[in-house]
């Protein structure tokens, strides 16, 4: 599909407008003008030309295991190995009994599925899939814990300071352009999206790819597009998304994608609207669980569970914000009205990235914030690029504003004029160390069998990580320890055999992710 000739424009939005938009039906941008207002399609996308980027920075245990070919080869040679065709070569052809397939990866993002939602007793199918495969205690999102930064982190293996999507809305001082997640002219502008997504890496390896509404541009700066591309449209039934994924899987051999990506926002929308503990969230959670079951059962029916690795992820969690303690940034013990009027660009939300109209004002109001005697000073932190927590990897990019006010859980930044109007009852965007911000990871397929076999084998003593997770021998459930979501890019590259085509984040890439000989 090509871009619409005249994409629908939307006006710039303040933090107030952004938070109000979280409650609207069009919670994400809707690119559908007449040329797109049609059923889901398998029409291939165009390819012209746009950057190369990078790879993942750190390695969690299970992915390091997969990347270190010595362990995989040792397991495949061991008598404990009982799973067929676990080669990590993307070119290896397998049969499901009636048709030939190449190694395939299907990654599904369920927006806002907090890690501990799986313990509510409402997701029996996802839990059953995790028992057949594996589950992580949680997956740690990047900071800020927002939808667009984290979906691009999953795609590229990069933190926000490297992939450039530093919030759902921000200003770029180099281009003097504003990015808004729900505005096509920016959300589809490839200049905002740095790094190399996994589908571009796969394209370089000659692999067919398919993207079903995953947040991001239809093309990168290098001109790479998914082979099949279905753009975002709100309120698409889960059944239609299931049909589209299966239609791709059922394509003829030479047209069938090996990497499929899909996105579902309904749980996040419910969490914003009514809060993470609400009946609506529980009902929506049960619905996405049924979708996961139907998708997995469809793979079982096609005898593809030894061929297709299915990975369910989320981008972040959700916390209750129905009764936050409000911190008014225009009060005299914060910026004051004059200080707020000196702000020329405000990025992000619920955190605030501030750019002032002069360096003098920046220094003055930074000092005022740092020495604030606000009665709720315990509810927020003030950072510059030089004082940001290093674990956030949120300092080394021009798009990151020089001053940030970051609220803690149970607190919200606002102004006297805005108050709590438009605030959602559930939100995210807070410190990624907060457990309520953590995402989920559930997987089943050939690679999960490798991990479980190695864990219970004599090779487990050689595992290259200290915390090996928890394994129940009674029901063969394996729950991995928490790991950063930037690991997923490296995992998919290994599973598809595309690691030789992958870009590297920095000099540590080769050390953390040595290529299998």
Separation CA 180–CA 168 (nearest Å): 6
Determine which one of 104, 145, 147, 321 is catalytic: 147
Closest CA to 354 of 371, 334, 333: 334
Q: What is the DSSP string of 407-462?
A: EPTTEEEE-TTTTTTT--SEE--S-TTSGGG-B-EEEESHHHHHHHHHHHSGGGGG
In contact, 142 and 153? CB cutoff 8 Å: yes
Contacts of 309 (CB under 8 A, 6+ apart): 103, 104, 105, 106, 443, 444, 445, 446, 447, 448, 495
Contacts of 496 (CB under 8 A, 6+ apart): 90, 103, 105, 202, 205, 207, 258, 259
Separation CA 26–CA 246 (nearest Å): 26
Active site residue 477: no
Separation CA 378–CA 73 (nearest Å): 52
In contact, 486 and 142? CB cutoff 8 Å: yes
The dihedral formed by the CA atoms of 416, 422, 423 and 428, expressed in degrees to the nearest 10: -120
Separation CA 360–CA 376 (nearest Å): 27
In contact, 145 and 478? CB cutoff 8 Å: no
Cβ burial of 461 (10 Å; 0-12, 13-18, 19+) is exposed
In contact, 231 and 36? CB cutoff 8 Å: yes
Separation CA 227–CA 259 (nearest Å): 10
- Give the C-alpha distances (Å, rounded to integers) separating 348 from 42, 148, 354: 35, 11, 9
Contacts of 281 (CB under 8 A, 6+ apart): 117, 267, 270, 271, 274, 275, 318, 426
Residues marked as catalytic: 147
């Amino acid at each position: 599909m090509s871009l619409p000739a005249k994409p629908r424009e939307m006006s710039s939005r303040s933090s107030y407008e952004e938070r109000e938009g979280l409650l609207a039906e069009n919670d994400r941008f809707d690119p559908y003008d007449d040329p797109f207002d049609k059923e889901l399609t398998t029409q291939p996308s165009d390819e012209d030309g746009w950057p190369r980027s990078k790879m993942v920075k750190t390695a969690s245990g299970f992915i390091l295991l997969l990347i270190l070919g010595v362990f995989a080869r040792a397991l495949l040679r061991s008598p404990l190995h009982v799973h067929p065709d676990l080669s990590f070569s993307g070119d290896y052809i397998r049969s499901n009994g009636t048709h030939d397939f190449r190694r395939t990866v299907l990654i599904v993002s369920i927006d806002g599925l907090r890690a501990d939602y799986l313990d509510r007793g409402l997701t029996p199918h996802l839990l059953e899939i995790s028992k057949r495969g594996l589950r992580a205690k949680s997956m740690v999102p990047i900071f800020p814990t927002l939808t667009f930064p984290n979906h691009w982190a999953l795609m590229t293996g990069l933190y926000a300071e490297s992939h450039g999507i530093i919030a759902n809305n921000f200003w770029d001082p180099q281009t003097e352009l504003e990015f808004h997640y729900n505005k096509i002219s920016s959300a589809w502008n490839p200049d905002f999206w740095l790094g190399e997504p996994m589908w571009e890496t796969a394209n370089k390896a000659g692999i067919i790819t398919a993207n079903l509404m995953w947040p991001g541009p239809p093309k990168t700066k290098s001109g790479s597009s998914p082979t099949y591309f279905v753009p975002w449209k709100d309120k698409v039934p889960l059944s239609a998304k299931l049909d589209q994924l299966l239609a791709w899987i059922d394509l003829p051999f030479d047209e069938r994608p090996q990497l499929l990506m899909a996105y579902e926002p309904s749980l996040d929308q419910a969490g914003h609207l009514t809060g993470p503990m609400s009946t609506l969230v529980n009902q929506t959670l049960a619905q996405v669980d049924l979708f996961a079951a139907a998708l997995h059962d469809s793979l079982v029916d096609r005898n593809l569970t030894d061929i297709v690795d299915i990975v369910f992820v989320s981008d972040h969690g959700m916390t209750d914000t129905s009764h936050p303690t409000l911190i008014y940034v225009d009060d005299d013990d914060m910026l004051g009205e004059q200080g707020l009027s000196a702000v020329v660009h405000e990025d992000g939300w619920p955190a605030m990235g501030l750019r002032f109209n002069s360096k003098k004002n920046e220094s003055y109001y930074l000092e005022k914030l740092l020495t604030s005697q606000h009665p709720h000073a315990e509810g927020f932190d003030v950072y510059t690029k030089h004082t940001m927590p290093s674990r956030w990897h949120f300092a080394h990019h021009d798009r990151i504003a020089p001053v940030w006010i970051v609220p803690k859980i149970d607190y919200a930044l606002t102004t006297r004029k805005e108050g709590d109007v438009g605030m959602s009852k559930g939100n995210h965007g807070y410190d990624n160390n907060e457990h309520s911000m953590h995402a989920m990871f559930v997987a089943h397929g050939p690679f999960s069998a490798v991990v479980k076999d190695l864990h219970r084998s004599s090779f487990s003593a050689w595992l290259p990580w200290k915390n090996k997770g928890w394994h129940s021998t009674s029901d063969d459930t394996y729950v991995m320890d928490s790991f950063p979501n930037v690991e997923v890019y490296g995992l998919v590259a290994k599973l598809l055999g595309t690691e030789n085509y992958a870009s590297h984040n920095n000099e540590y890439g080769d050390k953390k992710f040595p290529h299998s000989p």
